[in-house]
Amino acid sequence: MTSKILISLLVLAIDSISQVTITELASAIKSKFINYETIALSTLDNTIATFETTEFFDDYSIAHDDECVPQGDAIDNELFLIHSDIPDNVIETMLGKSLPTVEFAQILSLVTVTYIDYDGNIKTGDLIVHKDLAQEVAEIFQEIYDSKFPIANISLVDVYNADDNLSMINNNTSAFNYRLIHGSSMLSNHSYGRSIDINPLVNPHVINGTAYPAEAASYIDRTIDTPGLIREGDAVYNAFVSRGWTWGGHWSNPDYQHFEK
């Protein structure tokens, strides 16, 4: 691939571009994608992007017929995007899994964030959250990224057929999932996109001394030294709590992975 992308955000649907200045690129993004809010462009002012459109589209996944969103290892710098309305093709993958109806998606937004995985790789992942929290969530994950706190994986829970236990076993960070609170008949705050679980395998929910998921039993001990463990006062805790979120780690049956607002 001869395309070279050295910017925080590159979301374009233009037939032919080469040797684009950053001013022109930013203008194109703003005029073409008014539904996106960009909140992290730390390298935008002094970066030049040179690329060939055909190869660019080969290396990125299409969110709509006229939209291209950078994914995973294809990006070189941090990306934090808010899509105020969830793209139709994403809604289709969620229906019958995490999403009960198309209408319910109207309260939700798609947030794409950058994170550093356990191997030190820079990756992007998607979170579905309540519209009221979308901007804040993007800011929180930028703060976590800047702190270099490792996150194992960020994928929509639909990758696991909305099976919360399977998502936790795979140490997957996720947000929205229309489901009941474990062991109850009440809807979880995840059902409204108002909760986020981070590195759930190493930050289990502990109920009467039992870890959920069961595979996380060794992580009940919060004194162990392992990547991705959340502790009071660390970068993840501060990023959420400073913005008024509640940490489940303070509960009588602590849920170390869980933040809600």
Do residues 93 and 63 share a domain?
no
**Structural domain tally of the chain?**
2
Q: Which two tokens stand for residue 94?
A: 């969620």
Indicate whether 21 pLDDT > 90. no
pTM over 0.75: no
- Residue at a domain's end among 37, 69, 101: 69
Does residue 238 share a domain with residue 214?
yes
CA 182 to chain centre: 23
Q: What is the spatial distance between Cα 25 and Cα 11, in angstroms, rounded to a whole number? A: 9
Which pLDDT score is estimated for 204? 98
- Both 128 and 238 in one domain: the answer is yes
Question: Of the ranges 68-77, 108-117, 185-194, 211-220, which one carries the lowest mean pLDDT score?
Answer: 68-77
Of 161, 138, 236, nearest to 248 by C-alpha is 236
Query: Of 17, 104, 88, 102, which is closest to residue 56 (Cα–Cα)?
Result: 17
Residue-range definition of the domain harbouring residue 33: 1-69
148, 149, 152, 156: CA torsion to nearest 10: -90
Strand partners, 108: 130
Does a structural domain hold residue 143? yes
pLDDT of residue 77: 55
